[in-house]
Structure 1
Amino acid sequence: MDYLLPALNMVFQPDILLVLLLSSLFGFVVGVLPGVTATMAVALMVPLTFALSPLAAIASIVSAAAMVMAAGDVPGALLRIPGTPASAAYVDDAHKLTLQGRAGYIIGIGALCSMLGGVFGSSVLIFAAPMLANVALKFSVFEFFWLSALGLSCAIFVAGDDTIKGGLALLIGLAISCVGMEYSSGHPRFTFGNTDLLEGVSFIPALIGMFALPEIIRSFLRTGKAANAAGTRAVDEWRNVFSSVWGYGRVVLRSCGLGSFVGMLPGASADIAAWISTAITRRFSRTPEKWGKGHIEGVIAGASANNAALSSAWIPALVFAIPGDTITAIAIGVLYLKGMNPGPAVFINNADLVYAVFIVFFLANLLLLPFGWLAIRIAKVVLRIPQKLIMPALLILAVIGSFAINNDFSGISVMFWVGVMAYILEECGVPIAPVVLGIVLGTIVERNLMQSLISTQGNLMGFFDRPLSAVLGIVTLLVWCFPLLRRVFQRQAARAIA
């Protein structure tokens, strides 16, 4: 309480509140653009922070990042283009609900769950920062290898009923992640002499291509008048949002907890948290047959996890000056510029400022609800536009977004060829979600694997020497063996009955 009252006085000043509001508006506008990440939005905010006070600078970064993460659900629901990589984890169900005429409902669900996840992650940040940061510091390359390998296992859960096609899609994603220079030797792989591929396939253009281009191709191949099938009645369903989220309270709590844990690990991100949370929720869902057909459970799980991870990523950043993700890496640089050096001493030297930052987290996440209402009103306008007018504009946005990542035409090429591949895969009934997961985690798995093998000189038992690594390794191997063990037990049970 000695620090809370001064912190409240620092935050509830007109200039700080104005910065919060304008940064949230900026994040909302940027977030609804397909393919724009929260990191990109925060990077655009950095030049503006030079003229702000330390608290206002951090407030602008926190509010913009939280709003981008939540607003990324809007283009995913309306156009099937994930606004951020995290929203790709549940974009299919969100868009299917829009096609059923429930766009306002699904956007409201995303806004409310993002707010709950952000508040939960902020609470974890306040009450458990030192303890959880100590746990995160014990993670070495061995633990991160097993964690990322466990994340790859989620591909089978998000693939649906056909595990063979899910495994094939995951292998395609892993193959794409192998393009570029090999980690340990720097030797080019699968670049075919193209220097643009030396750094690998750019993820954001690939993401845009995988989700935007198939929809555009199908719309151009469709004969007759292409009316917007989404309808407009969905915007009146905001009142049902709270009751639906309450009904899935257990999913919200589990996803918030998982997102907070993954977010505090240095090098992990909200993207990984959303994918893992969605996969685990599907595994334990009572209605897995509804997934992929317009089911809100996956949206609730992913939206709750990504903003929780976004907040908890500040735990190692504030306590030990170790960035939890790329956003906090940028924020640490801003903190140093403002003379607020992160680390254990910051809770002594700048305690009132730290508590003020905590309050900013809560306010930034609470702003997600009114902006969610604004997104519903925007959806009402978008859904009235004929599809034959939306698709050309969508193609232009996809091209601009792909070009803007590296400011060259290689991004457009990646978007086009990956999009064509995604269209062919979907026409063959192969799910796209495992491909995305393979691209996201493939590089992380390879990097941690090579670092681990180099440090142990090829000794595989080194992956089980550390207690945390051994536990994660055993859990991962059990998950991999679970389908085989289940089949063996089923056969034994059948023989016993016979």
Structure 2
Amino acid sequence: MNTDLLIQVFQNLLSVQAIIALFIGVVGGIIVGSLPGLSATMAVALLVPVTFGMDPAAGLMMLAAIYTSAVYGGSISAILIHTPGTPAAAATSLDGYMMTKKGQGGKAIGVSTISSMIGGTISGVALLFLAPPLAKVSLAFSAPEYFLLGVFGLTIIGSLAGKSMAKGLASGALGLLIGTIGVDILTGFPRFTFGSMSLESGISLVPALIGLFSLSQVLMLAENKGKEKKESVIGKIGKVLPSIKEFKSIFVTILRSSGLGVFVGLLPGAGGDVGSWVGYNEAKRFSKDKKKFGTGAIEGVAAPEAANNAVTGGALIPLLTLGIPGSSTTAVMLGGLMIHGLVPGNGMFTTNANITYSVIFGFLLANILMGIVGLLGAKFFIKASGISEKLLMPIIISLCVVGSFSINNNLFDVWVMIAFGLVGYLMRKTGFHPAPVILGMILGPIAENGFRQSILMAEGNLLTYYLTRPICLVLLGLIIISLLSPLFLKWRQKRQENNNFSVEEQESV
């Protein structure tokens, strides 16, 4: 990184807009994450339209800050009320809630905050040093590689975002179909527009994002309202900071889990929930006293929290370099990049280097700020986790409508948002995940364009043409692996969860 670029990056970071964006992202992310039922993906989708009028660097910094902070915020409700605010905090609830029952909830939150900050910061450093060389690989990509890259991205998210590989792939296929709506990218002929001028430019990405992730989540909250009662433990949390001796005892665990989290983040589609269980499992495996896990072990909080926040930076590496999301949240962030006219690849680190490095350094600052704000505002965020859903739902719906309308000042986009909200609700009810739909809408046109161009380039020998290109062979291998590996990962994760819950039940008895 040369001196001129470094000066531009620091100017971006020190701008008033960037500072405010980071603070809003961190505080908002923690609050959203601590509210059971809401998620980092929903928060990012809701605020993508807000970034449209912002400087691209500041806007993307805010999305990255929301992402990492919401993953941490999920641990607050997991520790206090045994209800993970996000899926990534499920492993944390095992020992975190047991610490709360012992009157050590504050210490559990303190350990979670420190571990998340360290894990996220380590992943930010990995992002800074690993992403630029990986981005250079994209220079060798042509039409055939872009087609296979699009298929690779779809198989990864499709297989890991839902409860079953078949449902995930079906969601991705739906996104591909929706991506064909509009004017044909090569012939200029309208497809599936049914005579509507509003559909000739295709389905707007932002209203679809908001509908699938935000409005559908509100509908789920409205349906589940009152079905589950949460046990309040506010006022029983004790001190927040762990002692120096306790911190030393978990420091190695935090470092090991952070490394594992970065690695899991590099595996597109895995996400923080997989990373947290891997971190928890390895901490238990390396522990001298395995029986204490599930009974309120401090390592049982540190390990999954360091791992799931380390996943966030790791997941941004394939996103920025190859355009392959590492999680459902980064799938939404891919849409945010596209809205700002940023195409993942080498151009992110050359032409748009000042924006990219600003986002990376902003991500590092966001994790440090998250730790400071989390420790200082622990008692506030604990109270925020008890905000009534009656107040939340109308606010979120209002933001959905305003955000959808504000992009193009077009009422049609609001109807698109509502339609996708209903589709997203039905998908969630039937076990389908909305993330592959968005990914299909984004990658579909790219894959289609690459495939049709490669047909012309192959001159009638398409199969031979693909099999004689080394990068194509690598991508074909990765596609096969991505279709088979989820079966193994899900089996291992389910087995680990069953073992952990069995230990917890035995200890409770």
Please give the secondary structure, in 1, of the residue aligned with 2:116: helix
Instruction: State the 4+ residue runs in structure 1 displaced beyond 3 angstroms.
Output: 130-142, 177-184, 202-210, 212-216, 230-235, 379-383, 393-401, 403-412, 465-470
CA shift at 1:133, angstroms? Answer: 7.1
The answer to whether the 8 Å contact 1:76/1:91 transfers is yes
For residue 10 of structure 2, what is the aligned residue in structure 1?
Answer: 8
Please give the secondary structure, in 2, of the residue aligned with 1:81: coil
- Could you tell me which amino acid in structure 2 is paired with residue 316 of structure 1? P
- Cα 1:126/1:292, change in 2 over 3 Å: same
The answer to whether the 8 Å contact 1:235/1:376 transfers is no
The answer to whether the 8 Å contact 2:265/2:272 transfers is yes
- Could you tell me which amino acid in structure 2 is paired with residue 18 of structure 1? I
- Cα 1:248/1:45, change in 2 over 3 Å: same
The answer to whether the 8 Å contact 2:124/2:313 transfers is yes
CA shift at 1:379, angstroms? Answer: 6.6
- Cα 1:91/1:352, change in 2 over 3 Å: same
Asked if residue 355 in structure 1 is aligned to residue 381 in structure 2, the reply is: no
- Cα 1:67/1:256, change in 2 over 3 Å: same
- Cα 1:90/1:209, change in 2 over 3 Å: farther
CA shift at 1:344, angstroms? Answer: 1.0
Structure 2 counterpart of 1:67, from 47, 66, 69: 69
In the TM superposition, what whole-angstrom CA distance separates every residue of 1:348-386 from its partner, at most 9, and x where no partner exists?
Answer: 212222221221011111111232124422377689xxx
For residue 239 of structure 2, what is the aligned residue in structure 1?
Answer: 236
CA shift at 1:323, angstroms? Answer: 2.1
- Could you tell me which amino acid in structure 2 is paired with residue 312 of structure 1? G
Please show how residues 467-486 of structure 1 align to structure 2 within 5 Å: none
Structure 1 counterpart of 2:100, from 98, 101, 112: 98
In the TM superposition, what whole-angstrom CA distance separates every residue of 1:367-409 from its partner, at most 9, and x where no partner exists?
Answer: 11232124422377689xxxxxx8xx889799999x9999679
CA shift at 1:85, angstroms? Answer: 0.4
In the TM superposition, what whole-angstrom CA distance separates every residue of 1:473-497 from its partner, at most 9, and x where no partner exists?
Answer: 8xx79x98xx9xxxxxxxxxxxxxx
- Could you tell me which amino acid in structure 1 is paired with residue 115 of structure 2? C
* Distance in 1 separating the partners of 2:247 and 2:222: 29
CA shift at 1:327, angstroms? Answer: 2.4
In the TM superposition, what whole-angstrom CA distance separates every residue of 1:186-206 from its partner, at most 9, and x where no partner exists?
Answer: 9xxxxxxxxxxxx9xx99999
CA shift at 1:335, angstroms? Answer: 2.3
For residue 345 of structure 1, what is the aligned residue in structure 2?
Answer: 347
* Distance in 2 separating the partners of 1:181 and 1:466: 20
* Distance in 2 separating the partners of 1:297 and 1:439: 34
Please show how residues 292-371 of structure 1 align to structure 2 within 5 Å: 292-371=294-373
Structure 1 counterpart of 2:277, from 257, 275, 280: 275
- Could you tell me which amino acid in structure 2 is paired with residue 94 of structure 1? G
- Could you tell me which amino acid in structure 2 is paired with residue 298 of structure 1? G
For residue 22 of structure 2, what is the aligned residue in structure 1?
Answer: 20
* Distance in 1 separating the partners of 2:228 and 2:259: 35
Q: Which moved more, 1:90-99 or 1:335-344?
A: 335-344
Unaligned runs of 5+ in 1: 152-172, 187-198, 220-227, 384-389, 419-437, 444-464, 484-498
CA shift at 1:340, angstroms? Answer: 3.0
For residue 451 of structure 2, what is the aligned residue in structure 1?
Answer: none
For residue 82 of structure 1, what is the aligned residue in structure 2?
Answer: 84
The answer to whether the 8 Å contact 2:22/2:61 transfers is yes
The answer to whether the 8 Å contact 2:79/2:97 transfers is yes
Please show how residues 335-484 of structure 1 align to structure 2 within 5 Å: 335-378=337-380
Please give the secondary structure, in 2, of the residue aligned with 1:323: coil
For residue 432 of structure 1, what is the aligned residue in structure 2?
Answer: none
Please give the secondary structure, in 1, of the residue aligned with 2:111: helix
For residue 461 of structure 2, what is the aligned residue in structure 1?
Answer: none
CA shift at 1:411, angstroms? Answer: 7.2
The answer to whether the 8 Å contact 1:235/1:380 transfers is no
In the TM superposition, what whole-angstrom CA distance separates every residue of 1:108-145 from its partner, at most 9, and x where no partner exists?
Answer: 11111111111111110111125567999999999x99
CA shift at 1:326, angstroms? Answer: 2.6
* Distance in 2 separating the partners of 1:280 and 1:268: 17
* Distance in 1 separating the partners of 2:259 and 2:123: 8
Q: Which moved more, 1:298-307 or 1:274-283?
A: 274-283
* Distance in 2 separating the partners of 1:82 and 1:321: 29
- Could you tell me which amino acid in structure 1 is paired with residue 258 of structure 2? C
* Distance in 2 separating the partners of 1:250 and 1:58: 32
* Distance in 1 separating the partners of 2:241 and 2:375: 8
CA shift at 1:61, angstroms? Answer: 0.4
For residue 191 of structure 1, what is the aligned residue in structure 2?
Answer: none
CA shift at 1:88, angstroms? Answer: 0.9
Structure 1 counterpart of 2:126, from 124, 132, 135: 124
* Distance in 2 separating the partners of 1:10 and 1:178: 42
For residue 51 of structure 1, what is the aligned residue in structure 2?
Answer: 53
- Could you tell me which amino acid in structure 2 is paired with residue 265 of structure 1? L
Please show how residues 242-281 of structure 1 align to structure 2 within 5 Å: 243-281=245-283
CA shift at 1:342, angstroms? Answer: 2.2
RMSD (Å) for aligned C-alpha atoms = 5.1
- Cα 1:71/1:182, change in 2 over 3 Å: closer
The answer to whether the 8 Å contact 1:213/1:395 transfers is no
TM superposition score normalised by structure 2: 0.60
For residue 415 of structure 2, what is the aligned residue in structure 1?
Answer: none
* Distance in 1 separating the partners of 2:294 and 2:220: 21
Please show how residues 155-304 of structure 1 align to structure 2 within 5 Å: 230=233, 232=235, 234-240=237-243, 243-304=245-306
In the TM superposition, what whole-angstrom CA distance separates every residue of 1:155-206 from its partner, at most 9, and x where no partner exists?
Answer: xxxxxxxxxxxxxxxxxx97xx59979969x9xxxxxxxxxxxx9xx99999
- Cα 1:294/1:397, change in 2 over 3 Å: farther
The answer to whether the 8 Å contact 1:54/1:338 transfers is yes
Please give the secondary structure, in 2, of the residue aligned with 1:236: coil
* Distance in 2 separating the partners of 1:64 and 1:85: 16
CA shift at 1:23, angstroms? Answer: 2.2
- Could you tell me which amino acid in structure 2 is paired with residue 355 of structure 1? Y
Aligned-pair identity (%): 31
In the TM superposition, what whole-angstrom CA distance separates every residue of 1:210-249 from its partner, at most 9, and x where no partner exists?
Answer: 9x96765xx7xxxxxxxx6x57464424252x64333222
CA shift at 1:72, angstroms? Answer: 1.1
- Could you tell me which amino acid in structure 2 is paired with residue 125 of structure 1? L
The answer to whether the 8 Å contact 1:34/1:208 transfers is no
The answer to whether the 8 Å contact 1:33/1:75 transfers is yes
* Distance in 2 separating the partners of 1:19 and 1:213: 36
Please show how residues 111-150 of structure 1 align to structure 2 within 5 Å: 111-130=113-132
* Distance in 1 separating the partners of 2:249 and 2:105: 19
